[in-house]
Amino acid sequence: MKQSLFESHYQAEWQCFAARLDALERGKATREDCQGFAAAYRQLCQQLALAQTRGYSPHLIEQLQQLAMRGHQQFYRHRSQLGARLLSFLFGGFPRLVRAEWRSVALAFGLFFGSLIGMGLLTYFYPELIYSLMDPDQVQNMESMYDPDAHRLGRFGERGSSDDWAMFGFYIMNNIGIAFQTFASGLLLGLGSLFFLLFNGLTIGAVAGHLTEIGYIHTFWSFVIGHGAFELTAIAFSGAAGLKLGWALLAPGRLTRGEALRQAARTSVQLVGGVILFLLIAAFIEAYWSSMTYTTPTVKYAVGAALWALVLAYFLLVGRRHAPD
Amino acid sequence: MPSTAVRHAPPAPPTAPLDTRLRIETPEGIDLILRPASLVPRALAFTIDLAIRGLILGVMFVLLFTLGQFGMGLGAILMFLVTWWYMVLFEVLNQGRSPGKQIIGLRVVHDDGTPVGWGASLTRNLLRFADILPFGYTLGILSCLNSRGFKRLGDIAAGTLVIYRDRSAERPPLAAAEPLRAPFAMNLEEQRALLEFAERQGGLSAARRTELAAILAEPLGVSPEQAEARINGIAHGLLGSA
């Protein structure tokens, strides 16, 4: 078949297909546009292959190639059943993933909580150590946040209860930002994640040790214990995700470094998804529960302990059996 | 027998393109041609996106400032969304195109040419933080200029490409000529070369056309001056009449 005949034979089909693509690309496709799309797309691919093997002119092939490319983009479009995927991730996928990645998770937890507890104990026994990490101004500022005489605790502590919302916003921006940085800097051979894990661990440990030592025990510990269950574990997980990226670059095994990185990133980004969920929960607890002062510290300790137990049980137990579909 | 064997030899596999285009085979058995966008168009798209984000934040902060504490909380969440999620949301929900990319004519796809999804988009945009280190996208630019698909570090890890969206070209006019048969058998490559010459001549100067056509004067058995008209005739013969 000569090219002109081929073109006049199929021209109408191509125009119809292009119109359909236009509608789909602008997101204004009707039910009729989608019906028979797969068949039309396959037909076009076949015509393109024919045109190539018959040596038709480059312009025609280019035109068909563009149609095929646009059809491919629409046909393989990402279907996001976000709600369902989120639920199955929360009730199975995330704890399973954490257990499967126990090596990097254990390393990150060791680094973060090890430096936190170590620095906490050191600062408790050698109080002047806090000044090696923080300015006197910062220490002063922090002390005033947890002053037992204050009515509300934490940042924005001196303001009224109508500001919980402002705190919620601030915690989301600040904490998730820190988690993202901890993850992303893992690409620098894991050094960035290592730095952020240790830096945050040391700072939080120093603050905890210092405040305990000067006797702000109840105000500080009753404030942090609740959301700490989610916040601290989330920071450690984001470090684990970053360390996994770095490790893929350092020791790619039998893969090329690029391929190892791609595979590691696919897993890591799921961990980061879990981190985001955890930090949202943490910000909510921190803004609306931790800052309350009309409950006694005993209640807060009990709730805090229950939350820690909940988090622990979640990662140890959830998702052991196959989730119902 | 040997002569027929030579004539019916299977066509050579398509050679890799000489330029930066990438050839991706799809499950339908065709090759998609992707044209990765290099540093400059990507930087332009990013600048446009940056300006849009700045504008959104500026306007919203003025509005939210009047709302007091509630506005402050909302502003912080908005700041978070615009900083970390602007690109991800647009890329996934708007077929790989943030507003800047849409204006410049780019889109993000997976390495295999399929539209970008949540995981890959989140990966490439979170790792932007590593690309901007130590200042002004230094690592990203170095990686972009060093890799085959102009990938920054985030693209390498996420397995994504930023490609041009092709715009459809006008049908090139052919010079009028009487359809002719070629005096010798042509393989596919030669046939394509003749047709391409016929279609591209609108963009060539007369002297260059004559010069190119003269290469074929001897096999066509005509004088160099007549070669161009002869080639046009053969091209018309190949295309046939509708």
How would DSSP label each residue in A192-218?
HHHHHHHHHHHHHHHHHHHHHHTT-HH
* Confidence at residue A151, expressed as pLDDT on a 0 to 100 scale: 54
Do B69 and B156 lie in a common domain?
A: yes
Do B200 and B126 lie in a common domain?
A: no
* Confidence at residue B123, expressed as pLDDT on a 0 to 100 scale: 92
Q: Between B61 and B52, where is the model more confident?
A: B52
- The conformation of residue A185, written as its DSSP 8-state character, comes to G
* Confidence at residue B41, expressed as pLDDT on a 0 to 100 scale: 92
**CA–CA separation, B40 vs B233, rounded Å?**
42
The model's confidence at residue B5, banded by pLDDT at 50, 70 and 90, is very low
**CA–CA separation, A175 vs B38, rounded Å?**
34
A4: Cα separation from own chain's centroid = 55
Task: Indicate whether A210 belongs to any domain.
Answer: yes
Do A288 and A219 lie in a common domain?
A: yes
* Confidence at residue B51, expressed as pLDDT on a 0 to 100 scale: 94
The verdict on B88 touching A (C-beta cutoff 8 Å) is: no
Longest pairwise C-alpha distance within chain A? 92
pLDDT above 60: residue A325? no
Listed residue (B129, B99, B83) closest to A241, CA to CA: B129
* pLDDT, chain A, mean: 84
Residues 146 through 165 of chain B touching chain A, CB cutoff 8 Å: 153, 156-159
Of A59-68, A74-83, B30-39, B130-139, the one with minimum mean pLDDT is A74-83
Please state the domain count of chain A: 2
Domain boundary among B128, B148, B164: B164
Do A53 and A169 lie in a common domain?
A: no
Interchain proximity B69–A59, CB inside 8 Å: no
Task: Indicate whether B5 belongs to any domain.
Answer: no
Domain boundary among B164, B180, B207: B164
Domain boundary among A46, A75, A104: A75
Task: Indicate whether A324 belongs to any domain.
Answer: no
What lies within 8 Å, CB to CB, of B236 at 6+ separation is B174, B177, B178, B179, B180, B198
Do B52 and B114 lie in a common domain?
A: yes
Do A44 and A124 lie in a common domain?
A: no
**CA–CA separation, A260 vs A266, rounded Å?**
10
Q: What is the DSSP string of B44-79?
A: HHHHHHHHHHHHHHHHHHHHHHTTTHHHHHHHHHHH
Task: Indicate whether B176 belongs to any domain.
Answer: no
Q: Which residue in A45, A57, A271 has the most chain B C-beta atoms within 10 A of its own C-beta, making it the best mutation to test that interface?
A: A57
For B172, the closest of A7, A59, A187 (CB atoms) is: A59
The owner of tokens 């430096």 is A115
How is residue B190 written in tokens?
Answer: 């030669």
Task: Indicate whether A269 belongs to any domain.
Answer: yes
Answer for the pair B119, B127: CB distance below 8 angstroms, yes or no: no
* Confidence at residue B13, expressed as pLDDT on a 0 to 100 scale: 52
Do B118 and B230 lie in a common domain?
A: no
Of A58-72, A116-130, A166-180, the one with minimum mean pLDDT is A166-180
Average pLDDT over every residue of A310-323: 81
Task: Indicate whether A247 belongs to any domain.
Answer: yes
- In the chain, the amino acid numbered A158 is E
Task: Indicate whether A323 belongs to any domain.
Answer: no
Do B93 and B54 lie in a common domain?
A: yes
- Which domain does B53 fall in, by range? 39-164
Please state the domain count of chain B: 2
Q: What percent of chain B has pLDDT over 90?
A: 20
Do A101 and A203 lie in a common domain?
A: yes
The neighbour count for residue A175, using CB atoms within 10 Å, is 23
**CA–CA separation, A314 vs A310, rounded Å?**
6
The verdict on B227 touching A (C-beta cutoff 8 Å) is: no
Q: Between B176 and B102, where is the model more confident?
A: B102
Do A115 and A134 lie in a common domain?
A: yes
pLDDT above 80: residue A57? yes
Do A100 and A70 lie in a common domain?
A: no
The model's confidence at residue A82, banded by pLDDT at 50, 70 and 90, is confident
Task: Indicate whether A322 belongs to any domain.
Answer: no
Domain boundary among A56, A75, A94: A75
Task: Indicate whether B63 belongs to any domain.
Answer: yes
pLDDT above 80: residue B21? yes
- In the chain, the amino acid numbered A171 is Y
Do B235 and B152 lie in a common domain?
A: no
Do B152 and B195 lie in a common domain?
A: no
- Which domain does A199 fall in, by range? 82-317
**For chain A, where are the alpha helices, taking DSSP H only?**
3-25, 31-34, 37-53, 58-75, 82-88, 94-100, 102-125, 130-133, 136-145, 164-184, 191-213, 217-250, 257-285, 297-317
Do B43 and B160 lie in a common domain?
A: yes
Do B158 and B196 lie in a common domain?
A: no
**CA–CA separation, A212 vs A120, rounded Å?**
9
pLDDT above 90: residue A241? yes
pLDDT above 80: residue B145? yes
For B119, the closest of A55, A166, A269 (CB atoms) is: A269
pTM of the shown model:
0.82
Do B80 and B152 lie in a common domain?
A: yes
Residues 148 through 207 of chain A touching chain B, CB cutoff 8 Å: 159, 162-163, 165-170, 172-173, 176-177, 180-181, 183-185, 187-188, 192
Q: What is the value of ipTM here, to two decimals?
A: 0.83
The model's confidence at residue A114, banded by pLDDT at 50, 70 and 90, is very high
Answer for the pair A246, A191: CB distance below 8 angstroms, yes or no: yes
Do A151 and A111 lie in a common domain?
A: yes
pLDDT per residue as tens digits for the range B181-225: 777 788 888 888 888 888 888 888 888 888 888 888 887 778 878
Answer for the pair A284, A175: CB distance below 8 angstroms, yes or no: no
For A59, the closest of B75, B166, B171 (CB atoms) is: B171
- The conformation of residue A288, written as its DSSP 8-state character, comes to I
Task: Indicate whether B32 belongs to any domain.
Answer: no
Task: Indicate whether A56 belongs to any domain.
Answer: yes
3-state SS class at A149:
coil
Do B98 and B202 lie in a common domain?
A: no
The verdict on B179 touching A (C-beta cutoff 8 Å) is: no
* pLDDT, chain B, mean: 83
Do A65 and A191 lie in a common domain?
A: no
pLDDT per residue as tens digits for the range B99-136: 999 999 899 999 888 888 888 999 999 998 888 878 88
Task: Indicate whether B234 belongs to any domain.
Answer: yes
What lies within 8 Å, CB to CB, of A204 at 6+ separation is A116, A232
Task: Indicate whether A301 belongs to any domain.
Answer: yes
Answer for the pair A147, A140: CB distance below 8 angstroms, yes or no: no
Average pLDDT over every residue of B41-57: 92
Domain boundary among A75, A90, A112: A75
* Confidence at residue B3, expressed as pLDDT on a 0 to 100 scale: 44
pLDDT above 80: residue A163? no
Do A110 and A241 lie in a common domain?
A: yes
Do B151 and B203 lie in a common domain?
A: no
CA distance A190 to chain B (A): 11
Average pLDDT over every residue of B139-164: 90
The owner of tokens 């119809």 is A16
Q: What percent of chain A has pLDDT over 70?
A: 93
pLDDT above 50: residue A149? yes
- In the chain, the amino acid numbered A25 is E
The model's confidence at residue B6, banded by pLDDT at 50, 70 and 90, is very low
Q: Which residues of A87-109 are buried (b: 16+ CB within 10 A; e: fewer)?
A: ebbbebbbbebbeebeebbebbb
Tell me: cis bond preceding B134? Omega within 30 of 0 counts: yes
pLDDT per residue as tens digits for the range A60-73: 888 888 889 888 98
Average pLDDT over every residue of A193-219: 88
**CA–CA separation, B58 vs A104, rounded Å?**
41
Do A67 and A186 lie in a common domain?
A: no
Residues 181 through 220 of chain B touching chain A, CB cutoff 8 Å: 188, 191-192, 195-196, 198-199
Q: What percent of chain A has pLDDT over 90?
A: 23
Answer for the pair B34, B109: CB distance below 8 angstroms, yes or no: yes
Q: Between B14 and A224, where is the model more confident?
A: A224
Do A197 and A295 lie in a common domain?
A: yes
Do A154 and A12 lie in a common domain?
A: no
